[in-house]
């Protein structure tokens, strides 16, 4: 079964590449609109030699990783704190909702006004985008923890921290990891937005530069590398989820 899935996946990819190579010239589409796969590959080699593609990729990857880590920690921490305090959750919920509704990408120009063309705007946008899915997931999971388990822990005279550590945290771990999976994909978006708006390094900058030069192949390549970064980060979270939640039985269809 797995071999057939792998073979089919490879065949679909090869068919897609063949169509990508054949159709644009067939319909007379110029390369500055849709370049062929071979033209993108040739441009990729040129970007390695002349455009410091490796350095731009490392810059984007590091910023994605840092923004994802900080946003995840803040989202999880505040989510657990609010989940343990009904009073503060009700007090802060309107403000959290307002910030969640506000378009995060709109903050990028504001951050540039405050911090200039540095790494801070793209880092802060990334943190904001990652923060809310994890906060919401954790907070919602804290509300659904089995109250009987908490009451049982209190009957054994466990402290508040021990109840959190032994009951609430394990119960909410699946929701936390689900939020991390969402955040891992959004982190790439946050960094890209920051680099598009005001960056001078990174793959988002290459997208902006390629657009200005009418070099669609450069834009395609930068998007492809960004996708790979997102897949790597998502796969790492998925692997951690598999290791941490190995005790949960999986349904087989």
CA distance 14 to 83: 49
CB 72 within 8 A of CB 129: no
Angle between helices 37-50 and 2-26 (to 10 degrees): 90
Per-residue pLDDT band for 248 (boundaries 50, 70, 90) equals low
CA distance 149 to 181: 27
Indicate if the pLDDT at residue 103 is higher than 70: yes
CA distance 130 to 243: 22
Residue 170 has which token pair?
């394990």
Q: How far does CA 135 lie from the centroid of its chain?
A: 15
What dihedral angle (degrees, nearest 10) is formed by the CA atoms of 246, 249, 250, 253? 160
CB 132 within 8 A of CB 99: yes
Domain assignments of the chain as residue spans, ordered by start:
1-30, 33-244
Per-residue pLDDT band for 233 (boundaries 50, 70, 90) equals very high
Superfamily of chain region 33-244: MetI-like (1.10.3720.10)
Average pLDDT over residues 133-155: 89
Is the C-alpha dihedral spanning 47, 50, 55, 56 positive or negative?
negative
Query: Residue for token digits 């936390």?
Result: 176
User: Quick one: 121 exposed, middle or buried, by C-beta within 10 A (0-12, 13-18, 19+)?
Assistant: buried
Indicate if the pLDDT at residue 251 is higher than 60: no
Q: What is the pLDDT of residue 243?
A: 87
Between 6 and 172, the more confident residue is 172
CB 198 within 8 A of CB 112: yes
Which of 188, 195, 181 has the alpha carbon at shortest distance from 235? Answer: 181
Average pLDDT over residues 156-166: 86
Whole-prediction pTM? 0.88
Indicate if the pLDDT at residue 155 is higher than 70: yes
């Amino acid at each position: 079964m797995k071999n057939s899935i792998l073979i089919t996946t490879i065949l679909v990819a090869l068919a897609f590449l063949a169509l990508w190579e054949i159709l644009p010239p067939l319909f007379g589409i110029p390369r500055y609109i849709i370049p062929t796969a071979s033209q993108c590959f040739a441009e990729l080699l040129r970007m390695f030699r002349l455009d410091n593609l490796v350095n731009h990729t490392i810059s984007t990857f590091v910023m994605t990783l840092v923004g994802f880590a900080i946003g995840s920690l803040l989202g999880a921490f505040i989510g657990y704190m609010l989940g343990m305090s009904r009073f503060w959750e009700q007090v802060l919920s309107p403000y959290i909702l307002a910030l969640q509704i506000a378009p995060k990408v709109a903050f990028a120009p504001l951050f540039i006004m405050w911090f200039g063309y540095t790494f801070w705007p793209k880092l802060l946008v990334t943190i904001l985008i990652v923060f809310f899915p994890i906060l919401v997931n954790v907070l919602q999971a804290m509300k659904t923890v089995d109250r009987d388990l908490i009451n049982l822990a209190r009957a054994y005279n466990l402290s508040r921290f021990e109840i959190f550590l032994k009951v609430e945290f394990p119960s909410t771990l699946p929701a936390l990891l689900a939020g991390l999976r969402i955040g891992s994909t959004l982190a790439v978006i946050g960094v890209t937005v920051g680099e598009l708006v005001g960056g001078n390094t990174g793959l988002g900058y290459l997208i902006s530069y390629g657009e200005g030069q009418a070099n669609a192949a450069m834009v395609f390549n930068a998007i492809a590398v960004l996708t790979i970064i997102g897949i790597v980060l998502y796969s790492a979270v998925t692997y951690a989820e598999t290791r941490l939640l190995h005790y949960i039985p999986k349904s087989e269809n």
